[in-house]
Amino acid sequence: MLHRVWNDHLNVADLCVVWGHNAVSLDLSEFDFWNGQFTCSFRTRSNSAWASFRPDQISNNHLLSDDQWVRERIEDLRIGDQVSLRGYLSRYSHGSGFTRGTSTTRSDTGNGACETLYVEDVWITARMNEGWHLMYASAWWGVLGSAALWLWGVMSGRIR
């Protein structure tokens, strides 16, 4: 949303990425992850999971691209997907005075610790359990269908 307000049309998405030890050695279902346009946040109630988590193996990534095919692939990404990205760490700006740099170290934290990546190619190497995504979408259609059916019943006098 803010990217549009700032006329930052190169920034396609902000993506919270977990890799390395965190991705292969932890039960990530013990964690909650969420991100905003400038943050990648996580928490767990498990002390052992927290002790094993490596904060240098998670990041907020600003994904940039001017290639329509790459932009569409980025828009196809869903929470839990395993992805591979190829590109360059970048610093960019535009005519209204906006400038964004990139982190070049894994030990930094806070404001400015995110990576800005110009993406040349993106692959979804594995989707999160497709069944859950299908059930989630189906549940929403079921709620909408039920509401429409109820409204039709009320409007037609069949339900009082």
For residue range 33-78, what is the model confidence (pLDDT) as tens digits?
888 777 888 999 999 999 999 988 988 888 999 899 999 999 988 8
pLDDT at 97 over 80: no
Tracing tokens 């992850």 back to the chain, one arrives at: 33
Cα angle vertex 75, ends 77, 32, to 5°? 40
pLDDT at 30 over 70: yes
For residue 14, what pLDDT is reported? Answer: 87
If phi over 0 gives left and psi between -120 and 50 gives alpha, with beta otherwise, what is residue 84? beta
> What is the percentage of the chain residues whose pLDDT exceeds 90?
29
* pLDDT bracket for residue 101 (50, 70, 90): confident
Mean of all residue pLDDT scores within the chain: 84
In this structure, are residues 31 and 42 in contact, taking their beta carbons and an 8 Å threshold? Answer: yes
pTM, rounded to two decimals: 0.71
For residue range 127-152, what is the model confidence (pLDDT) as tens digits?
876 666 677 778 888 889 998 988 88
